[in-house]
C-alpha cells in the first residue's frame, strides 16, 4: 500500500499555515502545548489484532504547519490483512483546525465522491468521505477525520469557528484507507472496525491528567 496520500494533508496545511494562523489565532498566546502534545507518545502501536509500522514525515513541513507532535502509522490487521493509515497531530488550534480533506486532497487531484457524512462511533463523531482520483490512474481513498482537545472526538461543520480560538492544544485525527476497486457497496468498513478498538485507547492517552 502506498503511503503518499497520508502526506498530502500536512503539505497543504504548511502551504498556507501563516494565513490560516493569522485569521484563526495561531499567534495568540497559548501555554502548555508541548506538555499536551507529549500525550501522543503513549498512543499504542498495537490494539486488538492491529499492529503498526511507523512512518516519518518532513520536519520542516510539520513545523510550518504548526504541528508540535505527531503519530504517523500504517496499522495492519494480522487476521484479515486489512490496512489503515493514521495521522494524528497536535498543535496550536488555529492551524490544526484548518484544512479538512476536501481542501488538502484537492491539491493532489482527489475530489469528494459526494458530500461527507457524519459517522457515530460509540460516543464520538467523525466525518467520513470517499475521495477519488482518475489520473494518472483510478484511485480511491476512504477518509475519516475529527478533532479533539481531550480524547472525545467531534466533527463540526466549521472547525475553525469551533476550535480556532481555543486556549488549549488541539488534536486532529485522519484515518485513511485505500478502497479496492472491487469493494462491494455496503460492505464493512475496516476503518470503523479499527476505530472501535483504537478510540478507547486514545481516550486514555489524550485525556487531561486528573
Considering only residues 56 and 173, tell me which one the structure prediction assigns the higher pLDDT. 173
DSSP annotation string for 81-131? --EEEEEEEEE-HHHHHS--HHHHGGGGT-EESS--EEEEETTEEEEEEEE
177-187 pLDDT tens trace = 998 877 767 67
Average pLDDT, rounded, for the chain: 83
Residue 28 has pLDDT above 60, yes or no: no
Least confident of 84-88, 111-115, 153-157, 164-168: 164-168
Question: Which pTM does this prediction carry?
Answer: 0.85
151-175 pLDDT tens trace = 999 999 999 889 877 778 999 999 9
Q: What values do phi and psi take at 41, rounded to 5?
A: -65, -15
Amino acid at each position: 500500500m502506498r503511503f503518499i496520500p497520508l502526506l498530502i494533508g500536512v503539505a497543504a496545511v504548511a502551504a498556507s499555515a501563516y494565513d490560516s494562523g493569522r485569521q484563526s489565532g495561531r499567534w495568540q498566546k497559548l501555554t502548555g502545548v508541548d506538555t499536551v502534545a507529549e500525550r501522543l507518545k503513549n498512543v499504542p502501536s498495537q490494539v486488538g489484532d492491529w499492529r503498526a509500522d511507523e512512518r516519518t514525515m518532513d520536519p520542516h513541513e510539520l513545523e510550518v504547519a504548526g504541528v508540535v507532535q505527531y503519530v504517523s502509522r500504517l496499522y495492519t490487521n494480522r487476521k484479515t490483512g486489512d490496512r489503515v493509515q493514521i495521522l494524528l497531530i497536535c498543535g496550536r488550534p488555529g492551524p490544526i483546525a484548518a484544512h479538512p480533506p476536501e481542501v488538502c486532497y484537492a491539491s493532489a487531484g482527489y475530489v469528494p465522491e459526494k458530500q461527507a457524512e457524519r459517522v457515530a462511533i460509540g460516543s464520538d463523531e467523525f466525518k467520513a468521505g470517499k475521495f477519488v482520483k482518475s489520473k494518472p490512474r483510478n484511485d480511491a481513498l476512504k477518509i475519516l477525520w475529527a478533532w479533539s482537545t481531550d480524547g472525545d472526538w467531534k466533527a463540526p461543520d466549521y472547525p475553525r469557528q469551533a476550535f480556532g480560538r481555543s486556549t488549549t492544544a488541539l488534536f486532529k485525527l485522519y484515518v485513511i484507507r485505500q478502497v479496492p476497486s472491487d469493494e462491494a457497496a455496503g460492505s464493512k468498513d475496516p476503518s470503523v472496525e479499527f476505530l472501535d478498538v483504537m478510540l478507547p485507547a486514545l481516550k486514555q492517552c489524550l485525556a487531561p491528567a486528573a
